[in-house]
Amino acid sequence: MLRPSINVQFVDDYYAFDTNIPEAEQDGYSYADARLTWYLEDKGIEVEAFVMNLTDEEVLVRAVVHSQIVDGLPANSVQANWNNPRTWGVSFRYNF
């Protein structure tokens, strides 16, 4: 049996920090994963090819904004975490 699947997510604008500041704003986006599974039920074998983040969308997941004074001058920074880039691979399962 060959089973294709596509998972699509639609996400609206959001802020990746605790307060709504422009540096932490993420625009709306869509995100898709695709899988193709080959299943041999009588043998308990499953082989799956997959692509995650099919469109290679860059998404700001979380931001942390630091603001402090160093030697009398402001020293501000934004640390950002991003999602994983497009990833593909193959998995194998054997059920016994």
What percent of the chain is predicted at pLDDT more than 90?
66
pLDDT category at 69 given cuts 50, 70, 90 is confident
- pLDDT(53) > 90: yes
Residue 71: which pLDDT band, with cuts at 50, 70 and 90?
confident
What total of structural domains would you count in the chain? 1
**Token couple for 53:** 């983040």
Pairing of the two strands 45-52 and 87-94: antiparallel
Q: How confident is the model at residue 73 (pLDDT cuts 50, 70, 90)?
A: confident
Beta bridge partners of 39: 46
Q: Which structural domain, as residue segments, surrounds residue 78?
A: 2-94
- Give the closest residue to 53 by CA, choosing from 35, 36, 37: 35
pTM over 0.75: no
DSSP state of 22: G
- pLDDT per residue as tens digits for the range 9-26: 999 999 999 889 888 899
User: Between the CA of residue 8 and those of 18, 34, 54, 86, what are the distances in Å?
Assistant: 27, 9, 10, 14
For residue 84, give the nearest of 51, 55, 58 by alpha carbon. 58
